[in-house]
Amino acid sequence: MKRIVSCLSFSFSSQIPVAAVSFQVGSSYAALAFAILCLLLGVAFLYVVLVMDAERSTQPGHTFVGVVAATQLLTLIQQLVVVSRLGIEWEEPLSEILASLSVFGLNFDVLSVSCVASLSPVPEYVLTVSATPILACVALVLHLSAIALKRYLGHGLKVRLDMSQLLRTVGSLVSILFISIFTALVTPFQCNSHPNGRMTIQEYGSVYCNWQGFHLQMCMIGAVACLMPLCFLTVCIWALQSCTYIICFELPKRLRRADATYFRACSFLWVRFRPGAERFAIFILCRNALMVVCPLLPSLFVKLVVMNILLYSSLITMTLSQPWRVVLYMALMFVGNDVDATGLVTATAIALVFIAMMAFAIAITMMYGLVLYVVRQNRKPWRFFISHHKRAAGSFARLLKIQLQQRGSGNVFLDTDDLRDLTELFGFVRDTETFVILASPGVLGRKWCVGEIVTAKLHDVHSVMVRWPNFTDPNAATYENLSFAIPGVEALTAHSISLEDVAKALRWMRTLESIPFPHSLDLQSIGKLCDALTGTVSSRSERTSRPDCVILVDPANQEAVAAAYVLFELLRMNKSFRLSPLVLKEGDDIPDGASKALLICSTGCFHSGVLASWLIRITANSPTILPIIAEPDFAVPTEPKSAVAAVAGAFTDAEMATYAEAVGGIFQEIASVLAPQSYSSTQEDLDLRVKQIAFRLQSKGSRLRLTELRDDSLRGEAGEVTDATGDTCWAWAALYGLRFAVDGFWSGPTNQECSTFNKNGVAPVTDSATCRTACQTAEGLREINGQLQDWKGSSGSGKCECVTDANGNRRTACQDSGYSA
């Protein structure tokens, strides 16, 4: 590339006035001073941002989007500098744009340094290769100044200043400017050929490539200086991973030791990558190093092919692995040197459009990060974040979310519903207005729960603790050995959370507002808890006046009770559910009108004396009982007598026998699963399961009921009859024929005339293919032309329709006064 004409040539030109020369020299001083000022401010800004990021409580994470976009912009510019050195003759205005970007390749001629001081090629090249040590010295001076300022202010400056901050700043500078630094160092090895057969250095046209004089000196300096980026790359490889034959797993070893200081010092390498994808930092650095080497290749064709291979392989690798959060990607188009003028102009225009599109997209991304930061200062996307231990409080967490959402309290975060990527977990905590800790036993033994608590403390998120009665605060032994007390806590180091942060957060928990967990969980107690969380008072839900579906649960198991209320709430929200559910509490009796029952099956539930008394009493009424498995560890009892042998309470032998028989009969039905504790129990999954439970409960009855029929128009007693196929059914002997007692559904004889039936007693029936047709009236009207018809008679009127009994048989039933199908 042609070098910019020196200002000294202007000063000795007879055609340039003295005033113009003075203006040119003054402008050079101003440009140089402006460049130095920008350098100092840039390093200072980077140092402050990194120090604030180390104190994550004051650095919002949304600015990370803008930071990543800015680094992508710098990477794009540096890649364009490399492209400008490939030897392609670009058309205007692209050539001028590439020339103006050469300052990012540490080409100080753009700043007209020669107007300030006359430098020969070797000192000028030495100044170029000294850029990295100069940046490191500037960072060191800033770090020492910050330490002195902190000592002067005392406790007024609450930031952590140690050697890791300096290393992180220098490493970030080298990592961001890696392409520019390496490009400047290999300058002596990139030569241009001339028609006379001579070769000169591309950036220093006055120096011949003859390995003598200036060229030899510059090559020796460059060879030594190239050790800086190569050593940096080697140290990064040592810090991140092991080579094929050299075993030095430094990063995994540091993670196992929970060395957060090391992680923060080296975070400039992997801060853009998700946890687990840190090794892609090496891939990026190696790709950038190989890109710098491309202009040194002898042929333009080879340069373009190698450059395209590097860029496309990088694009494919990043697309498939998705190691980082950056959406934008650098895409370059190249043309050969054998195209005509029209094709070259077209290619230049296309390249210019793509560069403008990339710059525009990066600028939009930076603006998006800034807008997101401003918006999240005033309004956060989550009203509540429920932190809980699944096994101990999963059902209660689900119930709490349902209750809070019913109050219109905004979005409530629950990991099973809203978490798709574990790397985003702590970001959700930061974006929450109120952080709710369900302090159940064992919650502090879960590393992710502890990480959520640490994040809430560091970002000053308003936090409230719902304290279980048997929850105990950490003791001195816990603080001394956090790695043992919290299994896997070392993994939090990958998220820049140290053991010191964990200890401070656990002590901070003692200062939080604490709400005691209800002694007896019901709608009233959960309502009071929601009132305390929201700061509002809402009306309490009234108990159902005439419930016909009871939910039975072991009242001593609070998680099972919470699961019962989750089922209760979801059934009430199901529009197709026509029954009135009620969760029985300790001391309640079985309602008289209860014809259906749902049994919440939890570990040890059949040892509950309260549940046993309910089942003994409800069995006498022969309702439909559908078992619901609410805990993953529940095992269906294979020996009912053994399962109920350890039941608490005083029961007679007859009652124990009835209890065992009831337990055995319950599991003749296929149990449904509704386990809010499960990691897979999303809101959609629970809604689907509740819909299936409601359908089963309403469409499928229990065993045939042996009850007497009492009605003004129809009187009879239950008895056993045998139809024409030999099937035995319980039926009522009614005045107008047979009625089969199918849990409220009833039907009469099938395809024969109603007049064949004895109105005063039991008569045989004839079975049809699928449905049985009922004869319900004194007139004997059953069906017309084989079709079910509405009927009217002295006993009532209604419609005939097909129903399904408890055995799965399809029957035809007609509506009667006081009894409906």
Alpha carbon distances (Å) from 143 to 47, 67, 324, 515, 649: 8, 21, 30, 45, 73
Among residues 473, 418, 497, 424, the alpha carbon closest in space to that of 258 is found at 497
Amino acid (1-letter code) at residue 792:
K
Domain with CATH 3.40.50.10140 in the chain: 382-534, 549-699
Q: Give pLDDT, residue 194.
A: 79
Residue range 678-692, pLDDT digits in tens: 888 899 999 999 999
CATH code of 549-699, in short, is: 3.40.50.10140
Any idea which of 215-224, 261-270, 524-533 has the lowest mean pLDDT? 261-270
Give the model's confidence band at 368: pLDDT under 50 very low, under 70 low, under 90 confident, else very high: confident
Question: In this model, does residue 656 exceed pLDDT 50?
Answer: yes
The label of the residue with tokens 């034959």 reads 245
Phi-psi region of 235 (alpha: psi -120 to 50; beta: other; left: phi over 0): alpha
Give the model's confidence band at 506: pLDDT under 50 very low, under 70 low, under 90 confident, else very high: very high
Q: Give pLDDT, residue 749.
A: 40
Question: In this model, does residue 559 exceed pLDDT 70?
Answer: yes
Give the pLDDT mean for 119-143: 84
Is residue 742 within 8 A of residue 806, CB to CB? The reply is yes
Question: In this model, does residue 270 exceed pLDDT 80?
Answer: no
Residue range 212-260, pLDDT digits in tens: 888 888 888 888 888 887 887 777 766 555 433 323 455 666 666 666 6
Q: Give pLDDT, residue 688.
A: 92
Backbone φ, ψ for residue 277 (5° rounding): -115, 25
Give the model's confidence band at 803: pLDDT under 50 very low, under 70 low, under 90 confident, else very high: low
Give the model's confidence band at 63: pLDDT under 50 very low, under 70 low, under 90 confident, else very high: low
Give the pLDDT mean for 27-37: 70
Give the pLDDT mean for 589-595: 84
Q: Give pLDDT, residue 627.
A: 92
Question: In this model, does residue 634 exceed pLDDT 60?
Answer: yes
Question: In this model, does residue 178 exceed pLDDT 50?
Answer: yes
More confident residue, 331 or 200: 200
Q: Give pLDDT, residue 690.
A: 92
Question: In this model, does residue 596 exceed pLDDT 70?
Answer: yes
Q: Give pLDDT, residue 399.
A: 94
Give the pLDDT mean for 70-76: 78
% of the chain exceeding 90 in pLDDT: 16
Q: Give pLDDT, residue 111.
A: 55
The label of the residue with tokens 């970030």 reads 172
The overall pTM is greater than 0.75 = no
Q: Give pLDDT, residue 697.
A: 85
Average pLDDT, rounded, for the chain: 74
Query: Which ranges of 241-340 does DSSP label H, i.e. alpha helix?
Result: 250-256, 260-265, 267-270, 280-293, 300-321
Residue range 745-788, pLDDT digits in tens: 334 443 333 333 333 333 333 333 333 334 433 333 333 334 44
Task: Please state whether beta strands 549-552 and 596-601 pair in parallel, antiparallel, or not at all (unpaired).
Answer: parallel
As a whole number of angstroms, the distance between CA 772 and CA 786 comes to 12
Any idea which of 83-87, 359-363, 565-569, 572-576 has the lowest mean pLDDT? 359-363
Topology adopted by domain 382-534: Rossmann fold (3.40.50)
